[in-house]
Every structure is written in C-alpha cells, then in structure tokens.
C-alpha cells in the first residue's frame, strides 16, 4: 500500500477503519488470561553519548536509566591532593574532610563534561547538571567506576592499574568513597547504581589486571561504597554491578558469581548480539546464579551495552530489528528462561563516530532516529517490571502484554511482512471501555492512530505489516 493512502483525515475515521480491518490481512486471535506468569523488563535506558545532551529527549523516550562513564579520567583526572597514597583509608574514615572537596566540585562542574573523551566533539554540558536533571526526572544514572579508561587515562592512575600496594588501595578506596559521598551526602544527587569498570577482560578498555585482581578490586569498591551508605546514608541502599563483561558466557562472569555473589546485586554483561543473549546466554547466567547462590538472592541481569556501534539506527529496518530485540528482553512467552531485568542500549547520542538512537554531532542539531520512536512505543508498554499475564494466541509474530500500576493493560504486537486482522480478548481483565491504538511504522512514528470500544472484553483491529502496534486498555 502506498504511503499516501494510509494517512487518514481524522482520528474518528482512523478508529473506524482500524475497527473494520482497513488493511485486511491474516486473521489471528489473541487472548490475555488472568494468570500472572512473570514481570516485564524493570529498567530500559541507554549509555550516554558524547554527541549531545537534552534531558527532554530522555524524558520523552521514557528511559529510566542512563549509564555514565565516570571514572578517574572524568572526575579525578589529576590526583586530587597531589600526594600519591594519601589520605589513607583510616584517615578518610576518621574525617572525610581530608579529601579536597573543592577539587571534586571543580571537575563535577567543569564546563565540558566530555573533555576526557578522545575524538568527541566539544559539548558544553556539565556532569553535575546532567545528574541533577536525571534526579529531578526520576531517571537512575548507572555510574561506571574505573581507574583507567580505554585511552589509558588518566596517566597518574596507571600506577594503580591494578591496585596491589597499600598506597594503590588508598587511592582507589578514596576515589569510590569520594564519588559516592560527593554525590549523595554533599549534594543529594540520589545516585545508587555503581558499576565496577567496563569489560575488564578486554585489555583495550583499560584494565591491566588479572581476573583474580578484578575480584579483589570489586570487593574494595563495594567496601568503600558500603561504608558511605552505612555511615552517612541510613535507610538508603545501593546496587553494585559486575563484571560488565565483554564475553557473557566467559569465566569473568562465572567467577564473579562464584566469588562475589554476596556483594554483587546485578550481573552485568555487554552483548552486541542480543538474540544470542536471550536464547542462549541468559539461561546460562541464570543457571550460574542459582547454582552458586550464597546469599539467597537471585541477582538481576543487566545488559550494559547492546545494539550496534557501527552504521546507523535511522532506518525502518533497524528500528524493527532493535525494537524487536528489546521486546525479547520481556518475552517470557517464547523465551521463558531468558529474562532480562535491565538494559542500556549503546548509545543514547552518537559517541564520536559511533551511532546513537539520537544522531547528529554538534554543531548539528541531534535528530531522533527511527529506532528512537520504536523504542518509545515499546517502553511505554513494557517498562517498570509490570505484571505479565498468560497468552493464548495464534499470532505468527511477537506479542507481549503488561499491566501498569494504574491498571492500564498494554498489549504490543510486532508485525512481519504481512498485515494481520486481530481479535483481542481481554475479558479476564475488563469487559468494557475504550482501547487506544499506537503505531510505529513507515507512516507513523509512535502516534495514536485510533480508538475502538470493547464488546464483552473483545476488540478488533488491524496491525499493518512491518510495524509495532500497541493497544492501551484501562481496566479500572
């Protein structure tokens, strides 16, 4: 069908045509039962991108996590007091004001937050302001703490890469303590998600130690963070993420689970083939978590990076591909053993020449890609760890459901290369009311395209080919 023929003159006509099956296709029945079978993905977001920043973009997307590269190269590019190994851990515990807080304040409020990122454009945005905006909008930063980054910076920190002397450990413990104390005690930035390095088994990402060094490194990181919470933040809690591994099925993940199960809250991996993670890797990680459980907690899985780092997100095909894989994170119906609780796509904005779901390098104006709009529709339906209910359906493609805390039931259908006439039965949840339809396709960018009334809990509509279709149904 040609693009121009799909534009309708009003929502009224749109609703009528949707209800009558305007774009006739294959018939399918979908019934949402009243039995809960699990929960949807808890947190969907992205890794920051040095090609831009606008809090309104993030709020509009609906993301509720943003991952930050925030190691020593960014917030302690020079030894904060100029004396290596000082202050000691004991001195910090006795009096946190031995740390030069003016220096920390300077770097958190430095006018160009990406000064340390080689190859990135000049963007006048301040880290402190970014974190404040996220706090004010209820979006959780996930902070990547690392001593040395992928450019082997800062140079002074190479001496503690890895830490193996009392002076090295003083510097690393101070850094972790100071980051958390500055953010949450001195400035109430409300940051509670802390990631231990990035791809430590990948030498190009900066870590020069062994796996066993990393295990101990994680323990010191935890100790410093926990000391701040125990001493200065009563009633608050934090989540520690590790090992942020490049190889999700590798020994770094396994040994982190085996040796640090009692301190790691989120098993963290990078994965640029998410379909493999969902169908193969995630069940293995869940099995390891169960096998080596020492604390009685089944830790969550976070995909720190996924998507692409070459090419573009700005095509219909890319949007359908990555949107479909985002749905897979919550698709308990087709992949019951492969639950993903959290994910952060790489990246939000462009990173140097690597693509973001918002593209454009300053001084160009960043533009939202096709994938951005597909994600926005899916996030609206699935995010927040919502109850998901059993499905009885003969639909050929992905279909998922989740119910929000306000009682709104969301059903998302992903269409392949054929349209489908859908009979949706939600009578286990509600018998009457109005369903609202959102569409992402070549013609509509996550837009309301019509409404229809339920009849004894049943509503009919047509899902066009090559689209994501969201049905929003109030149940209370």
- pLDDT for the residue numbered 30: 98
Q: What is the CA radius of gyration of the chain?
A: 24
- pLDDT for the residue numbered 274: 76
- pLDDT for the residue numbered 349: 96
Cβ pair 37, 428 in contact under 8 A? no
State pLDDT tens for residues 394-426: 999 999 999 999 999 999 999 999 999 999 999
- pLDDT for the residue numbered 65: 98
pLDDT above 70 covers a percentage of the chain that reads 95
Confidence check: pLDDT of 119 > 50: yes
- pLDDT for the residue numbered 234: 95
pLDDT above 90 covers a percentage of the chain that reads 88
Poorest-pLDDT segment among 29-33, 39-43, 171-175, 356-360: 356-360
pLDDT average, residue stretch 231-249: 97
Total-model pTM:
0.93
Beta-strand pair 65-69/43-47:
parallel
Question: Which residue(s) pair with 447 in the sheet?
Answer: 439
- pLDDT for the residue numbered 4: 31
pLDDT average, residue stretch 122-144: 95
Query: Residue 303, exposed/middle/buried by CB under 10 A (0-12, 13-18, 19+)?
Result: buried
Confidence check: pLDDT of 190 > 60: yes
Cα 24 from Cα 40, distance rounded (Å): 31
pLDDT confidence of 132, banded at 50, 70, 90?
very high
pLDDT confidence of 259, banded at 50, 70, 90?
very high
3-state DSSP assignment of residue 295: coil
Poorest-pLDDT segment among 240-244, 264-268, 330-334: 330-334
Q: At what angle do helices 101-108 and 127-136 cross, to 10 degrees?
A: 80
Backbone angles phi, psi at 70, to 5 degrees: -145, 50
- pLDDT for the residue numbered 20: 37
List Cβ<8 Å contacts ≥24 apart for 449-456: 449/8, 449/11, 449/14, 449/18, 450/8, 450/11, 450/14, 450/15, 450/16, 450/17, 450/18, 450/19, 451/11, 451/15, 452/15, 452/18, 452/19, 454/426, 454/430, 456/427, 456/431, 456/432
Confidence check: pLDDT of 17 > 60: no
Q: Which carries the bigger pLDDT value, residue 280 or residue 397?
A: 397
Tell me the average pLDDT of the chain. Answer: 93
Domain at 3-38+390-474: CATH code: 2.60.40.1180
Confidence check: pLDDT of 362 > 80: no
- pLDDT for the residue numbered 15: 38
State pLDDT tens for residues 282-331: 999 999 999 999 999 999 999 999 999 999 999 999 999 999 999 999 99
pLDDT confidence of 364, banded at 50, 70, 90?
confident
- pLDDT for the residue numbered 19: 39
- pLDDT for the residue numbered 276: 76
Beta-strand pair 399-403/239-245:
unpaired
Confidence check: pLDDT of 3 > 70: no
Q: How many CB atoms lie within 10 A of CB 1?
A: 11
Confidence check: pLDDT of 263 > 50: yes
- pLDDT for the residue numbered 124: 85
- In the chain, where the domains are located: 3-38+390-474, 43-385
Same fold, 3-38+390-474 and 43-385: no
Non-local (6+) Cβ contacts of 276 within 8 A are none
Confidence check: pLDDT of 200 > 90: yes
3-state helix/strand/coil string of 21-90: CCCCCEEEEEEEEEEEEEECCCEEEEECCCCCCCHHHHHHHCCCEEEEECCHHHHCCCCCCCCCCCCCHH
Cα 460 from Cα 293, distance rounded (Å): 47
Cβ pair 328, 274 in contact under 8 A? yes
- What are 416's two structure tokens? 């392949």
Residue that the structure tokens 């969902």 belong to: 278
pLDDT average, residue stretch 167-181: 99
Cα 350 from Cα 50, distance rounded (Å): 6
Confidence check: pLDDT of 27 > 70: yes
pLDDT confidence of 365, banded at 50, 70, 90?
confident
Q: Which carries the bigger pLDDT value, residue 218 or residue 334?
A: 218
CATH class as words, domain 43-385: alpha beta
């Amino acid at each position: 069908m040609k693009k121009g023929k799909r534009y309708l003159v009003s929502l009224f006509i749109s609703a009528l045509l949707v209800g009558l099956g305007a774009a006739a296709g294959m018939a399918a029945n979908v019934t949402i039962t009243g039995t809960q079978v699990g929960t949807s993905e808890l947190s969907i977001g992205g890794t920051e991108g040095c090609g831009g920043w606008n809090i309104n973009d993030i709020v509009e997307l609906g993301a509720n996590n943003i991952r930050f590269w925030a190691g020593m190269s960014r917030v302690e590019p020079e030894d904060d007091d100029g004396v290596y190994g000082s202050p000691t851990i004991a001195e910090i515990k006795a009096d946190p004001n031995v740390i030069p807080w003016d220096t920390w304040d300077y770097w958190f409020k430095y006018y160009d937050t990406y000064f340390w990122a080689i190859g990135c454009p000049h963007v006048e945005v301040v880290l402190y302001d970014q974190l404040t905006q996220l706090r004010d909008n209820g979006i959780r930063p996930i902070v990547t703490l690392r001593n040395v980054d992928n450019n082997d910076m800062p140079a002074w920190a190479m001496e503690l890469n890895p830490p193996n002397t009392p002076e090295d450990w003083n510097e690393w413990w101070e850094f972790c303590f100071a980051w958390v104390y500055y953010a949450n005690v001195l400035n109430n930035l409300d940051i509670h998600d802390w990631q231990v390095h990035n791809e430590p088994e990948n030498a190009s990402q900066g870590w020069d130690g062994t796996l066993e060094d990393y295990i101990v490194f994680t323990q010191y990181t935890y100790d410093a963070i926990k000391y701040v919470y125990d001493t200065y933040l009563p009633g608050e809690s934090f989540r520690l993420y590790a090992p942020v591994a490049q190889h999700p099925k590798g020994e770094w993940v396994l040994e982190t689970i085996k040796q640090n199960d009692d301190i790691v809250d989120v098993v963290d991996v990078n994965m640029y083939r998410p379909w493999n993670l969902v169908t193969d890797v995630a069940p293995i990680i869940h099995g390891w978590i169960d096998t080596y459980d020492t604390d009685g907690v089944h830790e969550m899985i976070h995909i720190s990076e996924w998507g692409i780092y070459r090419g573009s997100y700005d095509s219909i095909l890319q949007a359908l591909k990555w949107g479909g894989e985002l749905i897979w994170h919550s698709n308990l119906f087709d992949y019951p053993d492969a639950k993903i609780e959290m994910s952060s796509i790489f990246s939000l904005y462009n990173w140097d020449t690597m693509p973001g779901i918002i593209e454009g390098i300053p001084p160009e104006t960043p533009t939202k890609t096709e994938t951005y709009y597909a994600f926005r529709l899916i996030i609206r339906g699935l995010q927040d760890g919502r109850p998901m209910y059993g499905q009885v359906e003969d639909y050929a493609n992905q279909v998922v459901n989740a119910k929000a805390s306000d009682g709104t039931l969301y059903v998302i259908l992903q269409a392949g290369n054929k349209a489908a006439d859908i009979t949706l039965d939600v009578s286990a949840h509600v018998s009457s009311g109005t369903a609202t339809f959102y569409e992402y396709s070549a013609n509509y960018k996550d837009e309301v395209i019509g409404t229809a009334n339920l009849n004894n809990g049943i509503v009919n509509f047509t899902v066009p080919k090559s689209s994501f279709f969201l049905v929003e149904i109030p149940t209370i």
